[in-house]
Amino acid sequence: MREEEKIFAGMLFAPGHPELRAIKLRTHNLCTEYNLTFEDEIEKRQRLISEIFAEVGENSFIQGPMYIHYGKHTKIGDHFFANFNLTIQDDTWVTIGSYCSFGPNVTIVTPIHPMLPNERRALLDKEGNPVHMCYAKPVHIGNDCWLGANVVVCPGVTIGNNCVIGAGSVVVRDIPPDSFAAGNPCKVIRRITEQDSMIHKPEILGENHIIR
């Protein structure tokens, strides 16, 4: 079994394996190139994004700088916005739905290292060679989600559609759809309802109108 196949099977893999290092080097270099672009270099930025990620939907914008590990393991929907310092350690699959907005410094991680220090240093592969290994769990973020500044999404987490995750939250477990959740560890505060509409905040809405 190839090293990348082990990742998707949920098995231990060697992140330093030449096959995986080549993927990461390519993506890291593309990210460096992206981070050196000017914001109005729209065509160049779009070309780089399409080369970095497995899928990126239409009308998506990443402010940059961004730090992506594999890239080819991340799928992003339409109308995605990410502010400064997006970090995705996508050893395995990361899926982000459409109409999602991320604040500054959002981090998504998928790899997990052994808890015991001696196992974290190395495990023996099938030939008996000591090798640094870890495993990974996929992350799924639904449509229409807003993640505030400095949110960390941990391995194996699913965030349902229409969620708002408060700034500074560390999401360690699944969040059901239509939830406002916050904290470390992140917990559901309450359900988001029509009572949260801006129509009930006329002093903020001003002369603007709700789209029906």
The tokens of 94 are what?
């990361």
Asked if residues 76 and 56 have their Cβ atoms less than 8 Å apart, the reply is yes
Return the H-helix or E-strand segment holding 32.
Answer: helix 18-35
Phi, psi of 16 (to 5 degrees): -90, 5
**185 preceded by a cis bond (ω within 30 of 0):** yes
- Rounded CA separation 166/169 (Å): 6
- Rounded CA separation 94/17 (Å): 21
Catalytic, out of 73, 79, 113, 209: 113
- Rounded CA separation 134/89 (Å): 13
Asked if residues 192 and 166 have their Cβ atoms less than 8 Å apart, the reply is no
The DSSP call for residue 196 is G
Is residue 69 annotated as part of the catalytic site, yes or no?
no
Q: What SS3 class is residue 197? A: coil
Strands 107-109, 164-165: pairing is unpaired
Buried (b) or exposed (e) across 122-151, using 16+ Cβ within 10 A? ebeeeeeeebebbbbbbbbbbbbbbbbbbb
Residues forming the active site: 113
